Amino acid sequence: METYAIALSYAIPGFIVLILLEYLISRWKRTPVNEGMDTISSISSGITNTLKSLMGLTVIIISYEWMVDRIALIEIKSSFLIYFLTFIGLDFVGYWSHRFNHTVNVFWNRHIIHHSSEEFNLACALRQNISAIVSIYFFLYIPIAFIGIPAEIVAFVAPIHFFAQFWYHTRLIDKMGVLEHIIVTPSHHRVHHAINDEYLDKNYSEIFIFWDKLFGTFQKELPDQPPVYGVKKPVNTWNPFFINFMHIWGILKDSIRTKRPWDKIRVWFMPTGWRPDDVTKKYPIAVTTDPYNREKYKTESSLLLKIWSWTQLVITIALMYYLLISVGKLPFIQIVNYSIFLMTSIFAYTSLMDRHIISIYVEIIKLVLGIYFIIQGDSWFGIDDLISGGTYIVYTYIILSFIVSVYFQLIERKYVTGTYKQMV
């Protein structure tokens, strides 16, 4: 975990710089690719995924190390060959796990967060799940276990393979010539994120595009069919926690509501989006049928609320960065406590962005947790050793966050709209 935290402490500043660079270039080219609240939601989602990893909230049914110790048939001596095969093997695993996530109803819940943005930019690459609590694709690693790839090599190459998928989430790079036939390019991945009928369920590859061409799922970007981004059933929220679990919640309701016993079981494993006939008729769900006339999700947001939302994001990134550089010296229970606080904070301010009244109640929980952790540890997780008076800064932030949220929900909103509309 400490190695993972160190890797992220280097990667995150790079991600932020590239996101800012993309924004500046888009302004220069007069090609808007960012919407403020959407970008905040995307980056916040990435933070929740990081916190989930730090807390170890993934149940591994069969570990790769266990498999390679028992089924390896050969031992590769060449260091170049072993790293090369590991990268290719992980890309094969990535293609098929990605494809399963898109095509099996219950597995779509593991991936919906990544596609939920109605924009396509580098920030949306950070929309990663917290809902994939159980590691179910262990069987896809059998081929590389057979050829004896050591577990420590897989652990080293996996983050590199994952981070290498960041750059192609952009609209600012057009076709890339001969590279279009070799690697996944922005054009290929724009197709993958689109909800146009001609683009659905295409281009699952993660690094090398030849997997899609080999398995029949390739689609090039068409000049007369610009991609429209998002999901067919719009999520209509900035809150990453709601997005992470809304699909499985929908399946559960369908399973309970349908009358046929067989439908109660198969609704989980049918193609993504399938619903029993009786439930579809009685409980219809709005689905985008004409992507070109789709209205994007937006909320009632004053300039002051937008500034406050960005402020919350910056503070959250700073607090998470302190956690990353402190992982080696903090007991595991403190890492969990810290992560719970940050997740609560993200839930609160993204709910406020939605103008959902629940934000105030979650801010109360955040206030109580924050004060409790400070009193319990006599400081904010030892931050005073790094920043003089750091605990007082965090303490002030926690109180201010609650007061400002109350202002936005109960004062500013009443003044602007004259009512307390609650968004569901």
Model pLDDT for residues 364-406, shown as the tens digit of each residue: 999 999 999 999 999 999 999 999 999 999 999 999 999 999 9
pLDDT exceeding 90 applies to what percent of the chain? Answer: 87
- Region class of 407: left (phi > 0), else alpha (psi between -120 and 50), else beta: alpha
pLDDT at 416: 54
Mean pLDDT for all residues in the chain:
94
The answer to the question of residue 120 being in a domain is: yes
Among residues 383, 363, 365, 370, which one has the least CA distance to residue 337?
370
Same domain, residue pair 166 and 113: yes
pLDDT in tens, 168-206: 999 999 999 999 999 999 999 999 999 999 999 999 999
Q: Is residue 195 part of a domain?
A: yes
253 shares a domain with 132? no
Give me the amino acid identity at 49: N
pLDDT at 3 over 80: no
Q: How confident is the model at residue 121 (pLDDT cuts 50, 70, 90)?
A: very high
Nearest to 280 by CA among 294, 267, 261, 262: 267
Under the banding of pLDDT at 50, 70 and 90, the label for residue 412 is confident
pLDDT at 7: 82
Tell me if 123 sits within 8 A of 43, measured CB to CB. Answer: yes
- Which of 196, 215, 234 lies at the terminal end of a domain, its last residue? 215
Q: What is the pLDDT of residues 197-252, one digit of tens each?
A: 999 999 999 999 999 999 999 999 999 999 999 999 999 999 999 999 999 999 99
pLDDT-based confidence at 420, cuts 50/70/90?
very low
Q: Residue 296 domain-assigned?
A: no
Contact assessment for residue 169 and residue 125, using Cβ atoms and an 8 Å cutoff: yes
The verdict on 161 and 268 lying in the same domain is: no
Could you give the 3-state DSSP secondary structure of residue 135? Answer: strand
In this predicted model, which residue has the larger pLDDT, 387 or 57?
A: 387
Whether 291 is covered by a domain: the verdict is no
Residue 224 lies in a domain: no
pLDDT tens digits along 130-162: 999 888 999 999 999 999 999 999 999 999 999
Q: Are residues 276 and 314 in the same domain?
A: no
pLDDT at 151: 92
Looking at the structure, do residues 39 and 188 belong to the same domain, yes or no?
Answer: yes
Q: What is the pLDDT of residue 334?
A: 96
337-346 average pLDDT score: 98
Residues 370 and 254 in one domain: no
Residue 202 resides in a domain:
yes
H or E stretch covering 134: strand 134-135
Q: How many helices (H) and strands (E) does the chain have?
A: 17, 2
Of 252, 285, 318, the one marking the end of a domain is 285
Q: Which two tokens stand for residue 296?
A: 């994007």
| Domain with 27 in it | 2-215
Whether residue 7 is contained in a domain is answered as yes
Threshold 0.85, pTM exceeds:
yes
Q: Report yes or no: 241 and 139 within 8 Å, Cβ to Cβ.
A: no
Least confident of 55-59, 81-85, 306-310: 55-59
216, two tokens = 């029949």
Do 211 and 255 fall into the same domain? no
Cα angle 195-201-207, degrees, rounded to a multiple of 5: 110
CA distances from 309 to 8, 17, 118, 191, 313 (A): 23, 19, 19, 31, 6
Residue 137 lies in a domain: yes
With b meaning 16 or more CB within 10 Å and e meaning fewer, what string describes 149-166? Answer: bbbebbeebbeebebeeb
| Residue 359: count of CB within 10 angstroms of its CB | 23
φ, ψ of residue 322 to 5 degrees: the values are -60, -40
Instruction: Report residue 89's pLDDT band, with 50, 70 and 90 as the boundaries.
Output: very high
Please report the pLDDT score of residue 279 as a whole number.
97
pLDDT band at residue 415 using 50, 70 and 90 as cut-offs: low
**Same structural domain, 64 and 119:** yes
Q: What is the mean pLDDT of the segment spanning 282-298?
A: 94
Span 253-281, pLDDT tens digits? 999 999 999 999 999 999 999 999 999 99
Segment 65-82, tens digit of pLDDT:
999 998 998 888 778 899
Coil vs helix vs strand at 387: coil
Residues 49 and 159 in one domain: yes
Are residues 312 and 280 part of one domain? no
Higher-confidence residue of 102 and 4: namely 102
State yes or no: pLDDT of 413 exceeds 80: no
**41 and 150 assigned to the same domain:** yes
Pair (179, 250) in one structural domain? no
pLDDT at 424 exceeding the cut of 50: no
Q: Total domain count for the chain?
A: 3
